[in-house]
Amino acid sequence: MLFLVRMDVRLPPSMPKEEADALKATEKAYSQGLQRQGKWPHLYRVVGEYANYSIFDVADNDELHTLLSSLPLFPYMEIHVTPLARHPSSIH
């Protein structure tokens, strides 16, 4: 199943820089692992915001929930999920 996911990150301004940097490094490693597995095939930055749009290709809602809630930055994110279906006019 394909899902379009928007993630907005809101780290607390009081978080020490070293802690934020370590959290971001852990997040990067985790997300790149999911990309290599093919579960996170597309990741796009939203220009001018600490946010992204991503496409996930997972078995079902439960798998997506598990992957998203396992993100190290999850406690600091606002996430919006849109299930996707093939469009009848698509040539793919």
Spatial separation of the C-alpha atoms in residues 92 and 88, rounded to whole Å: 10
- In this structure, which CATH number among 3.30.70.1060, 1.20.140.90, 3.40.50.300, 3.40.50.1110 belongs to the domain 2-84? 3.30.70.1060
Spatial separation of the C-alpha atoms in residues 19 and 22, rounded to whole Å: 5
Low-confidence ranges of the chain (pLDDT < 70): none
Task: Please provide the average confidence, as pLDDT, over all residues in the chain.
Answer: 97
pLDDT at residue number 46: 98
How do the domains of the chain map onto residue ranges?
Answer: 2-84
In this structure, what are the phi and psi dihedrals at residue 35, rounded to the nearest 5 degrees?
-65, -45
* Residue 60 and residue 1 in contact, taking contact as beta carbons nearer than 8 Å: yes
pLDDT at residue number 7: 98
